[in-house]
Structure 1
Amino acid sequence: MSIPIEPTPLPDIRLRIGDCVVDISLREIVAPGAHRPRRVTPKAMGVLRVLAGNAGKVVSRDALLAEVWPDTLPTDDVITQAVTQLRKAFGEKRGDAQYIETIAKTGYRLLAPVEWLPDEGNEGKQEHARQQNQTDAITLPEPTDGGVSAGPGAVEATLPSVGTGAPVVGTAIPPSPAGSRWWLRERLLVSLVAAIAAIALVLFLAVRHIDLNRDDGPGSVQNGVGPGPERSYRLLTSSLGFEFAPSLSPDASMVAYAATLPDWRGTVIQVQTTNASQPHQISHPPEGVSDRAPEWSPDGREIAYLRYGPGVHDCEVRITAASGGSERSVATCRGDDQNSLDWTPDGRALVFGSMRLEDGSTSGLRLLDLQSGRWIELPYPGAGRAFDYMPRYSPDGRWIGFIRNPQLGDLWRIPVAGGEPERLTRIGGEFRGWDWLPDGNGLVFGRRIDSEARLYRLDLATGLINDLGLDDAQTPATAARADAMTFVRRRPQFGLFRVNRSAGSGPIQRERLFPSSGRDTMPSLAPDGRQLVFSSNRSGHFHLWWTDLEDPQSLRIIEDVHPDTLSRPEWSPDSRRMLVVGHDDDGREGVFEVVPGSGQVSHLPMPGPRFRALQAIYTPDPDQVLMTVRGPDDMLCLVLLDRSGTEWKVLGSIEDVSLARVDTANQRVLFTRLSADGLWQADLSLTPDSIRVVDPDRPTRWRYQTWAVAEDGSIDYLDLRPGCLSSLSRIGNGEFEGAGLAPSLPRCLNPDRLSTTTSFSSSSRLDAVFTAQAVDDGSDIGLMAAPSSIEEPHQAAPSGWAK
């Protein structure tokens, strides 16, 4: 039988457990005889902290779930995986528990003695964290650097996170008398030097004494488990399914968002108060139609939104009263485009992002006068040559900000009447929404990093960016006249699936490969049809994993390289090597050549010191490689490089290329562009005269990664269609019909689950598609105070931020 947890204060960030040293801030465990520290996941470290705080006592699985996974509904296997990872880091052998003992059907007990090691300057860090942990005018908790605030009487430590630059605030655990006595005995036995500190701690605990067994009525602590740390946000929604695209009323009293409904295909617009009341549906589309992207009018009386029908051209811009009632259509748009809008400050017009026009061209930002229905183009250089998305008026009405090319882009702004665009960031990443901060001195934006999306703040005066410390957060939206911000919290789980590719192979058969609780993405099949690599965070960090499909026990991690999500690893024609774009354990970025058989990883040179690689591909010629790069002028280019000498030479190039693949069967290069939908081809030498259109419409610029070339040269494309969330189709202009490669009817791989927007693999030889699909998905709306200032930026000027 397990005894109640008696939480022990954890004032330091390093400790010795048995013969191992644990660095909590780095999440590393150094075991005797180990070649290098073993880094564990944040959740595994959270489990270890609870066990260390109750060393020698049994901690139940329920208590661990409550402490480490608060406000979630995880399965028991998450604890098993965390403990397994800790045992490996401690160097435990199977059947010989020297550190963590499993108590059958109950929980776990830490067997080894614990000694907390002093960390200089920690007291000052705690004081800084306490000063930051204040509430704002609307009584929402002000976010600390780590995005978590601790409750009253909590002992907390601010711990820097590795890799993202985001801080993490350690779990706040209230002290208890019993826990302090055990901790004091351990410290006295380990070291006499700690006696003075222990006495001081006892005096502190006497003042802050908490009787965990006292019943103070509703809300009191029971069963000896103290309250968890207070979050910097609270969730407004928790229904099954999706709530997304939030928009706050000007005074932050109401929030509007798009939502799915049970047993209903499509989405509706719902409104609710920000005190987490029940939502009120204000739009009523027919089934199969989706209402999205709500935006409050400046006076808070109306909401504009987009209605997408099942057809390509079925799209309307609609306006309704914020309380519901009559709706009116004010404009039409393309249903296969990513439309975006905002109100003008006077409420008389709507501003729209780039839209595809009837003649096939792309517009720049433009206004729709609601009284006359007239479209007005905003004059600025570059309009129509790039895709400018999510326009937003600044709080002072002087600027219009927007994301240029959100899949591989940056934040920009122009004067409200048009003029020279000003670039605000130099990231070149995948943006997940943005908004102005209420004071107008900064912006907040979402960006995809590795396997998750995170929120960041940009200070306009200094150009500094900091991480807000929120995991799996995106699509921020602020209130115009209140210090509040909403965002979307989405925590999907993606698994790898092998699905039969052609209709001739019979009904759809989905086989999940190497199931895990992580996010598995970007499967890349080798030309030999046996080897498969993919990216996953199943180890706690985003790594490459390799396997032999004919040997299920062969799955292993490839060390010292972390792949980027902008492109999948690309195999050599002989299936012996791979080119991977990403960074190594030291943070060095670029292109890496990996030999899976030996685990060898080599960093490759670039065409120039100011070039940033987005993709690297082998060609049939072993002395030549293709790279998609962002040049010094920020132009995306596909370059052909001669690697036979010490200094690599550029042999050819094509501008405006977002992604490329080699079609060995037809001796050509296929590529997409950011400036337009469609697919192009060129010869392997990138001769300008060889460039021509393969498909004028697909892939769309928003799904520029979701296409693959099979061994026979056929081109598969993954998108979503009415009634099917993962649809596979053959694309091309029919030029190879004699080889049976003409476009085919769509094949529904999964009607109810989305595929990722990253790369997949297709094989005509195996008649199979290897893709990442959602296993568990959904999203909620969160509310927090808008970040106001940057005390300690965790990332320097954005010009150097290219992760």
Structure 2
Amino acid sequence: MASQYWVGDFFIDLSRNQITRGEQSQTIPPKALAVLTHLAKHQRKVVSQDELLSEVWPDTIVTPNTLQRSIAQLRKAFGEDRKQQSYIRTHAKQGYSLECDIVWQDDDSIPQVKTAPKEEAPSPTSPKPEIEITPVNPSHQIQTIKPKRFPIFALVGLVLLVFAIFKYSPPEQSSQLVFDRLQAVTATDRKEFGPSYSPDGEYIIFNRYLDKLCVNKIWARNIHTQKETELTPEWGTYGRHTLSPDGKKLVFISEEDCTIPLTQNTCYNLVSLDFQKALVSPQQPNVLMRCKNSAIKNPVWLNNNNLAILHKETNRWRLINYSVRDNTSRVLYDLENGNLAYFDYSITDGLIAVTSHHQDGQLYIDMLDSKGALLSSHPVDYPDEIPQRRTISPNFSPLKDELIFSTGRRLFSLTYDGKVSKLDLPLDQSASTPDFHPNGQRALLIKGRYDSDIASIPLNQPESIDTPSEEDVSELYPSTTRSILGEDDGIFQPNGNLIAFTSRRSGEDQVWITDGSDLRQVSQFPIDTNIDGIHWSADGESILVNANNELNKIFLDGRVEGLPLNAPVDQLFQWDSIDNSALLSLTIKGVTKFAEVDLDSLEPRFINEKPVSWAQRTKDGRLIYMDHMNRFWQPGAAEDQLIEKLVDQGSEKRFVIEDNVIYSINQNDQLWSYNLDTDNFSILKAVHRDIDYLTDVNQGNLMITYVVAAKKEVAELILRK
């Protein structure tokens, strides 16, 4: 089968993953082109969904939503939609057909290539010059050029030259990273995270956090003696840290102390300390920069002794250059119609790699020089193993022109032009993206497991102890279904005796149901799946699930129905199956927005652009939501109204509503209720501090998730020499 063909006026080039019309070329995911090619082989014939799924995704479990997304990508490339179906036609409950002329091009018909004229270095807003491909139209005749004859001595000389180059050229660097072993660096009962090497490679610097005591400190570990040194006293919540190129100054982000109730905007402090002095005794950091009305994260030292930092005003992130010496900053990189997600810096090459959401909704890898000039920008070409809407955080690797990132239990490499390849990884549990040693032969990562359980507790049950936080949480709240891995999101079946919940007990995040004795897995999501929200239908026959930022309706009889929204779903809050609408947070060009979506038309109605942490509707339809400062709001006639009686009563533990009564837990670990009709607020009882979330309420019973153990540790991946 030829690798190039025509669909009407569109030229399809499978070797380049492109669809071209005139001089306009579009890069299309390989699987979408495979769908198109199979339809082209069966021109004007109806091809079933099952046939397309088995042909394009053999030996892979995917939902029909994956196929629907590929069809949508093709229709967009052809300039049509579901209503206008000139090219790809949908046949209800049957499949799809390609309704236009197909001309296959011979494999030896090579497109003419012309190089774009040389231009000045592109600015951050101008596209990178690329090679233009002009496809050969089948109506055009191809001229064959006969080679000239070379003298025999010239041919012999050419052969000898090729032999010499092959024999004496140094071997090429391996195209893949090969890991030899994984070894532990820390092994404590605390949570370690955020590891990095010092510029000289002599120290590993990491955060150590004990959440039960609300203690967080930065430590350094000598890689030769294994001696650990405490660098800081208690100093709030630390973010990523970075050590200056000369190894003298440690800089990191500090947020508010976790013991202080959040009653105003979080203050983000950029702080520093003398690293050499801290190796002798813990040092109190000095504040370099304060942010009260904006946020900063991910500081990284540049070679010029300035810092690159992600800075957010309103809902958009931009990359700034901060001068420690002058206490000034300037914008390095910004997207007017998009949002930045993550960045890393290569000291060796002086390059900045940025992942960003662009106007077309795709995730891009943008390469900058150290001054912020855009060198290249390409969409990330996700393979089938990675959900198409997954945001990634790649770091530089020892391979030339390649980065590396983790999706959980798997590692992938990412080239500067957006190509992704899978790497072999000796891990049996989730791990973070590796951060490489200056010599490139080892890398740090965080691995660990999260053990949580779900339990149902009666609201009117009296407490037998005064201080529940000092007792064993699992004895106080017996588990509904116990495993040594994470169980969460327990929800009661309407008018039934089942409980649906999410669990990693089978190795991946899946949806399970139980009647109290028997267990059954009802989803079959792929490896490294993330589930952010589930909700029963009113009849108790199906469950709406937000898995890998996409909505799927899972029926108890095993059927799965995908709902292909045009934007990634950040969080599913609630599903009203009667009106068939859902409360969601959606990511639009990298910006999170609070919305209610009509699941019939798949059209969103945006409610606001506030950072909403949780939301529910009451039985009579009133909307209640909690913002990032854990304050409760409800819409008013002119503007949203703060619920005054609930000021200082919010927490990270969410809330649930039954019969127009809100239930939640405050910062003092007190369960409370608030009646929206009577304006009555009551403290009900003390609860264990290890309760993570309230997830449902039904007939006087609360469903909770609580933490049994949360283990994170620093480990090193050693490369094979």
TM more than 0.5: yes
TM range (shorter): 0.5 to 0.7
Match of 1:348 among 291, 294, 305: 305
Name the CA shift for 1:634/1:621 in 2 (closer, same or farther; >3 Å).
same
Residue 258 of structure 1 deviates from its aligned partner by 1.1
Give 1:445's aligned residue. 405
Asked whether the equivalents of residues 236 and 276 of structure 1 are also in contact (C-alpha less than 8 Å), the reply is no
Given residue 556 of structure 1, which amino acid in structure 2 is its aligned partner? R
Counterpart secondary structure, 1:567 = strand
Counterpart secondary structure, 2:619 = helix
Residue 267 of structure 1 deviates from its aligned partner by 1.9
Q: 2 CA distance for matches of 1:617 and 1:715?
A: 15
Residue 538 of structure 1 deviates from its aligned partner by 1.9
Asked whether the equivalents of residues 529 and 766 of structure 1 are also in contact (C-alpha less than 8 Å), the reply is no
Counterpart secondary structure, 2:414 = strand
Residue 511 of structure 1 deviates from its aligned partner by 2.8
* Larger fraction in strand: 2
1:686-705 equivalences in 2 (<5 Å): 692=640
Name the CA shift for 1:410/1:487 in 2 (closer, same or farther; >3 Å).
farther
Give 2:193's aligned residue. 244
Give 1:558's aligned residue. 522
Match of 1:784 among 693, 717, 720: 717
Match of 2:695 among 753, 761, 782: 761
Q: Does 1:299 align with 2:246?
A: yes
Match of 2:350 among 392, 397, 406: 397
Give 1:663's aligned residue. 617
- Relative to structure 2, which stretch is displaced further, 629-638 or 561-570? 629-638
Q: Does 1:464 align with 2:398?
A: no
**Aligned pairs, how many?**
515
Residue 245 of structure 1 deviates from its aligned partner by 0.8
Q: Does 1:479 align with 2:437?
A: yes
Unaligned stretches of 5+ residues in structure 1: 1-36, 40-136, 150-231, 584-588, 684-688, 789-803
Q: Does 1:321 align with 2:285?
A: no
Give 1:799's aligned residue. none
Q: 2 CA distance for matches of 1:347 and 1:748?
A: 54
Residue 299 of structure 1 deviates from its aligned partner by 2.1
Name the CA shift for 1:412/1:718 in 2 (closer, same or farther; >3 Å).
farther
Residue 768 of structure 1 deviates from its aligned partner by 1.9
1:142-221 equivalences in 2 (<5 Å): 144=178, 149=180
Name the CA shift for 1:746/1:378 in 2 (closer, same or farther; >3 Å).
farther
Name the CA shift for 1:350/1:497 in 2 (closer, same or farther; >3 Å).
farther
Q: Does 1:371 align with 2:329?
A: no
Residue 380 of structure 1 deviates from its aligned partner by 1.9
Give 1:517's aligned residue. 484
Asked whether the equivalents of residues 438 and 480 of structure 1 are also in contact (C-alpha less than 8 Å), the reply is no
Name the CA shift for 1:390/1:658 in 2 (closer, same or farther; >3 Å).
farther
Residue 634 of structure 1 deviates from its aligned partner by 7.0
TM-score (norm 2): 0.58
Residue 677 of structure 1 deviates from its aligned partner by 8.6
Give 2:538's aligned residue. 573
Q: 2 CA distance for matches of 1:679 and 1:414?
A: 41
Name the CA shift for 1:293/1:299 in 2 (closer, same or farther; >3 Å).
same
Name the CA shift for 1:461/1:342 in 2 (closer, same or farther; >3 Å).
same
Give 2:334's aligned residue. 380
Give 2:678's aligned residue. 739
Q: 1 CA distance for matches of 2:604 and 2:298?
A: 43
Q: Does 1:536 align with 2:500?
A: no
Given residue 324 of structure 1, which amino acid in structure 2 is its aligned partner? K
Q: Does 1:269 align with 2:218?
A: yes
Residue 244 of structure 1 deviates from its aligned partner by 1.4
Name the CA shift for 1:501/1:247 in 2 (closer, same or farther; >3 Å).
farther
Asked whether the equivalents of residues 177 and 423 of structure 2 are also in contact (C-alpha less than 8 Å), the reply is no
Give 1:626's aligned residue. 582
Give 1:497's aligned residue. 455
Asked whether the equivalents of residues 344 and 352 of structure 2 are also in contact (C-alpha less than 8 Å), the reply is no
Q: 2 CA distance for matches of 1:503 and 1:263?
A: 25
Aligned-residue identity in percent: 13
Counterpart secondary structure, 1:777 = strand
Asked whether the equivalents of residues 316 and 591 of structure 2 are also in contact (C-alpha less than 8 Å), the reply is no
- Relative to structure 2, which stretch is displaced further, 429-438 or 276-285? 429-438
Q: 2 CA distance for matches of 1:370 and 1:746?
A: 51
Q: 2 CA distance for matches of 1:677 and 1:446?
A: 31
Given residue 601 of structure 1, which amino acid in structure 2 is its aligned partner? R
1:117-156 equivalences in 2 (<5 Å): 144=178, 149=180
Q: 1 CA distance for matches of 2:590 and 2:302?
A: 32
Query: After superposition, what is the alpha-carbon deviation per residue over 1:4-41, rounded to whole angstroms, capped at 9, x for unaligned?
Result: xxxxxxxxxxxxxxxxxxxxxxxxxxxxxxxxx9x9xx
Residue 249 of structure 1 deviates from its aligned partner by 1.6
Q: 1 CA distance for matches of 2:394 and 2:355?
A: 8
Query: After superposition, what is the alpha-carbon deviation per residue over 1:517-573, rounded to whole angstroms, capped at 9, x for unaligned?
Result: 23212222334484311111223444322123xxx3243332656795343221122
Asked whether the equivalents of residues 546 and 555 of structure 1 are also in contact (C-alpha less than 8 Å), the reply is yes
Given residue 190 of structure 2, which amino acid in structure 1 is its aligned partner? G
Name the CA shift for 1:612/1:388 in 2 (closer, same or farther; >3 Å).
closer
Asked whether the equivalents of residues 660 and 676 of structure 2 are also in contact (C-alpha less than 8 Å), the reply is no
Residue 261 of structure 1 deviates from its aligned partner by 7.0
Asked whether the equivalents of residues 257 and 269 of structure 1 are also in contact (C-alpha less than 8 Å), the reply is yes
Counterpart secondary structure, 1:324 = helix
Asked whether the equivalents of residues 298 and 343 of structure 1 are also in contact (C-alpha less than 8 Å), the reply is no
Residue 353 of structure 1 deviates from its aligned partner by 1.9
Name the CA shift for 1:604/1:477 in 2 (closer, same or farther; >3 Å).
closer
Unaligned stretches of 5+ residues in structure 2: 1-58, 62-172, 469-475
Q: 2 CA distance for matches of 1:748 and 1:531?
A: 28
Give 1:285's aligned residue. 234
Asked whether the equivalents of residues 567 and 705 of structure 1 are also in contact (C-alpha less than 8 Å), the reply is no
Given residue 739 of structure 1, which amino acid in structure 2 is its aligned partner? T
Q: 2 CA distance for matches of 1:476 and 1:528?
A: 48
Name the CA shift for 1:534/1:444 in 2 (closer, same or farther; >3 Å).
same
Name the CA shift for 1:488/1:594 in 2 (closer, same or farther; >3 Å).
closer
Asked whether the equivalents of residues 236 and 275 of structure 1 are also in contact (C-alpha less than 8 Å), the reply is no
Q: 1 CA distance for matches of 2:315 and 2:583?
A: 28
